[in-house]
Structure 1
Amino acid sequence: MNPNANAGKRGPAIFSHHKTYRWIRQIHLWIGAWGALAAVLYGSTGLVLNHRMGENAWPQGDSRDAGATTLQIPAEARTSPEQLSLWLQQAQHLDVQSIRKGGPGGRGGERGGDARQPPKWNLSGGTAADSWQLEYTPGSDSAELKRNHQSFLAAINRLHKTVGGGIGWRVLADSFAIAMVLLGLSGIWMWARGRSYRQMLLSVFCASSAAFLLVVIPALL
């Protein structure tokens, strides 16, 4: 019998190479072990966040007011958001994780003049469970520091969005994201091994890919 008689019915030869398959399988297992807990966390919080809007929205956790403090802002910290951030870190031991300039604070001048006040500065930080926010209006000599405490569900939802986890969590989240990509690619590689093109075409993977594209492409248009 001609050994190449069924060559056209099989998938690419690279998918059938035993040594390559063994290495890919081992890498797939290592990646799966590294990201197993992350998959549970991201999967569960992603499901909750996916249902955060609408009439039958799922609970997203609670955020409780933990108090407010008025801070006197020194002149040197009023020059820019970066200087204010540096002062908060040095004087108040607050590490700023986000700096945003909001919309104009309103119209200035007398009798409804057209002059607009400069945008407010919003600085925030804290952990996933305990957060703080400071809103400063340029030119003012004080600002109110508000603190909030999040419930467990709200805290893990914040971690899902990489809010309040710090640099350590950001690095871990990056590694988990890369692991998910590699896990998917290696899984597809192992699934395709030993299957013909016809079997690949008439498969659950092909059906799921088609459904994915049918839903995603219209949403992006």
Structure 2
Amino acid sequence: MRSMNTPTPSSAAVAVHAAKPRRWAGFNRPRFLQALRKFHGWIGLWGALLGLLFGTSGILLNHRAVMKIPAVRMQESSVQLPLPAPAPSDADALAVWLQQQLGIERPANRVREEPARPVAWGDKTLQQPARWQVSFNALRYSVQAEYWLGSGMVSVKRSDGNFFALLINLHKGNGLGVAWVLLADTLAGSIVLLSLTGVLLWTGLQRRRVVGALIFGASLGATILTVGPSI
């Protein structure tokens, strides 16, 4: 007859299970997942407006050559301006003069000087004069100026775009300052956070799914590092 004090196998297993230390002591998985789900939603809300903007303009940029979408329209005009006397001494002075002459609010975004150089012309070599280039970029228009040293005239071309051209300029950041660049960076950061939190929500912090996600991510990263340089 079995003694009443002898523990049965089931009671012994229960005792051993109770004696084992709990993993993630103090960690409440349901509460963490609930908070993570809320964080995921707020990040998605933050990036929704900018995501719509960059998504629409990204489609237009992706179809510039292949399966072209004729949404962006530019109206171009050009003019030849005589230089004052005395003429600007360098490209920076030319940019300041053009800004005043054309009534442009912002200074030039790009000023470039190309020195004079020999150019092959058939069986001869000709000396090409120095060239100055000045660019003014804004959301709705762009102005490009070109001057060949010694010509006495500067060629100016202006391009005015429609609403879709405005979207493209917003996507590229043309005519915008550091604040817009940093704001666009927050969208990129929100996409990264949405990806990470989305994976965590999918796994539900279950061991098998977490391990599977890590293996998949490591395999994908190794494939990109291996195949990427050869593409």
TM-score interval for Structure 1 and Structure 2 normalised by the shorter chain: 0.5 to 0.7
Higher-RCO chain (CA-CA 8 Å, sequence separation at least 6): 1
For 2:34 and 2:135, locate their aligned partners in 1 and report how far apart those are by CA, in whole Å.
48
**Alpha-carbon distance, 1:86 to partner:** 2.6
Give the one of 181, 186, 189 matched to 1:175. 186
**1:35 aligned onto 2:41:** no
The match for 1:78 is 88
Q: Secondary structure at the match of 1:35?
A: helix
**Alpha-carbon distance, 1:74 to partner:** 3.9
For 2:174 and 2:119, locate their aligned partners in 1 and report how far apart those are by CA, in whole Å.
33
The match for 1:69 is 79
- Alpha-carbon spacing, 1:141–1:169, altered in 2? closer, same or farther (3 Å): farther
| 1:170-209 pair list within 5 angstroms | 170-196=181-207, 198-200=208-210, 202=212
Instruction: For structure 1, list consecutive stretches of 5 or more residues without a partner in the other structure.
Output: none
Tell me, yes or no, if the aligned pair for 2:147 and 2:155 is still in contact at 8 Å.
Answer: yes
For 2:201 and 2:186, locate their aligned partners in 1 and report how far apart those are by CA, in whole Å.
22
State the AA in 2 paired with 1:131.
S
Give the one of 128, 131, 156 matched to 1:145. 156
Tell me, yes or no, if the aligned pair for 1:76 and 1:83 is still in contact at 8 Å.
Answer: no
**Alpha-carbon distance, 1:121 to partner:** 2.9
**Alpha-carbon distance, 1:150 to partner:** 1.4
State the AA in 1 paired with 2:164.
L
State the AA in 2 paired with 1:113.
T
**TM-score, normalised with respect to structure 2:** 0.65
Deviations 1:85-143 (CA, angstroms, capped at 9, x unpaired): 2333344332322334579787499x94343333x333222433222211222333221
The match for 1:131 is 142
Tell me, yes or no, if the aligned pair for 1:75 and 1:141 is still in contact at 8 Å.
Answer: no
**Alpha-carbon distance, 1:211 to partner:** 6.4
How many residues in Structure 1 have an aligned counterpart in Structure 2? 211
Which shifted more, 123-132 or 74-83?
74-83
Tell me, yes or no, if the aligned pair for 1:127 and 1:165 is still in contact at 8 Å.
Answer: yes
Alignment root-mean-square deviation, CA: 4.2
Tell me, yes or no, if the aligned pair for 2:117 and 2:128 is still in contact at 8 Å.
Answer: yes
- Alpha-carbon spacing, 1:187–1:47, altered in 2? closer, same or farther (3 Å): same
Give the one of 45, 48, 57 matched to 1:45. 57
Tell me, yes or no, if the aligned pair for 1:134 and 1:143 is still in contact at 8 Å.
Answer: yes
Tell me, yes or no, if the aligned pair for 1:98 and 1:124 is still in contact at 8 Å.
Answer: yes
Q: Percent identity?
A: 27
Instruction: For structure 2, list consecutive stretches of 5 or more residues without a partner in the other structure.
Output: 1-13
Tell me, yes or no, if the aligned pair for 1:52 and 1:60 is still in contact at 8 Å.
Answer: no
For 2:80 and 2:172, locate their aligned partners in 1 and report how far apart those are by CA, in whole Å.
29
- Alpha-carbon spacing, 1:172–1:103, altered in 2? closer, same or farther (3 Å): farther
The match for 2:6 is none
Question: Looking at CA atoms only, which structure, 1 or 2, has the larger radius of gyration?
Answer: 2
For 2:185 and 2:168, locate their aligned partners in 1 and report how far apart those are by CA, in whole Å.
17
Tell me, yes or no, if the aligned pair for 1:21 and 1:190 is still in contact at 8 Å.
Answer: yes
Tell me, yes or no, if the aligned pair for 1:129 and 1:149 is still in contact at 8 Å.
Answer: yes
